[in-house]
Amino acid sequence: MIKQYQEELSLAVRAAREAGGLIRDKIYRHQVTETKSCLSDLVTEVDRQAETCIVRLIQQHFPSHAVVGEEQQGNCAGEPGGAMTWYVDPLDGTTNFVFGLPFCAVSIALAHHGTPVLGVVHDPLRDETFTAVRDGGARLNDSPINTDHSIATLDRSLLVTGYPGNIANRPRMHLVNYRQLIDRCNNLRALGSAALELAYVASGRLTGFWEVSLRPWDVAAGMVLVEEAGGTVSDLAGRRLQLTESVDIAATNGLIHEELLECLEWPEYNEIK
């Protein structure tokens, strides 16, 4: 077992499980639902309580590290994008949570100089914890996992995508050739939690994933999981994924990656090719 980042990994798992306990206890009993950027961009008191729990633990154990959280609770130390930065999504899949759909997760990642090196995605409703450390492989509840290497073509692939919560970002979604993609793949899902969808690609439950206009805390942990499980992650033009303010991502088992990008027909893809 790789020794690098083990202290950070243990802390991330502990924090994710503590935050997950709040989600599990409140999924049918939360009291406050508010909106952020628009009516479909939801936040609850559980999002904020879970983030406060996670940030507090990180700052207690790694006070010099930066923390970038979706809800930005607490006074975060350090400089985001510096030597060590944590990316925290305390409740990925808030809309599912609000409507009582049991598909949501806690996502915690650590990046070194902007490159994710550690990822934890915890599903408290199934008691599944996906973990990965750079160059150390990916695991589900301590058992090794790998992407599905039995599927090498799009017509056999089960794909997943999502839709931007902020309606201002939805025009970017239409830059993808959905009609062609739907006609060529085996089938398509939209499950509502990018972090869990990436974890499912890493564990072979899904063949590929893409989405536009995500935030770095949505994808940082899942990016490590997929790559360490033997898959491929890029932006929609095929470039190395960067944790910028807005993220367009494709993640696959690796075997279908180029075919998926070609089928999506992202405007920049052919220019770069």
d(C-alpha 3, C-alpha 158), whole Å: 35
Contact 129, 225 (CB under 8 A): no
pTM of the model: 0.92
Task: Answer yes or no: is 218 a known binding residue.
Answer: yes
pLDDT band at 173 (very low <50, low <70, confident <90, very high): confident
pLDDT at 273 over 80: no
Task: Answer yes or no: is 206 a known binding residue.
Answer: no
Q: What confidence tens digit (pLDDT) does each residue in 42-52 have?
A: 557 888 889 99
pLDDT band at 168 (very low <50, low <70, confident <90, very high): confident
Contacts of 92 (CB under 8 A, 6+ apart): 104, 105, 106, 107, 121, 193, 194, 195, 196, 218
d(C-alpha 133, C-alpha 152), whole Å: 26
Place of tokens 């990916």: 138
Is 154-272 in CATH node 3.40.190.80? yes
Task: Answer yes or no: is 45 a known binding residue.
Answer: no
pLDDT at 192 over 90: yes
Task: Answer yes or no: is 70 a known binding residue.
Answer: yes
pLDDT at 71: 66
The H-assigned helical ranges of the chain are: 6-26, 45-61, 94-99, 170-173, 178-184, 194-202, 216-228, 257-264, 269-272
Instruction: Pick one of 3.20.20.70, 3.40.140.10, 3.30.460.10, 3.30.540.10 as the CATH number of 6-144.
Output: 3.30.540.10
Average pLDDT over all residues of the chain:
90
pLDDT band at 79 (very low <50, low <70, confident <90, very high): low
Would you give the DSSP letter of residue 241?
Answer: P
Across-strand partners of 208?
159, 252
Distance, CA of 36 to chain centre: 20
Radius of gyration of the chain (CA): 17
Task: Answer yes or no: is 228 a known binding residue.
Answer: no
Q: What's the one-letter identity of residue 66?
A: A
Q: What confidence tens digit (pLDDT) does each residue in 141-162 have?
A: 999 999 999 999 999 999 999 9
pLDDT at 72: 67
d(C-alpha 228, C-alpha 146), whole Å: 8
Ranges of each domain in the chain: 6-144, 154-272
d(C-alpha 16, C-alpha 124), whole Å: 9
If residue 249 lies in a helix (H) or strand (E), which one and from where to where?
strand 247-252
Q: Which tops the pLDDT comparison, 159 or 273?
A: 159
User: Span 114-132, mean pLDDT?
Assistant: 97
Q: Which tops the pLDDT comparison, 75 or 19?
A: 19
Percent of the chain with pLDDT over 90: 75
Q: What confidence tens digit (pLDDT) does each residue in 231-257 have?
A: 999 999 999 999 999 999 999 999 999
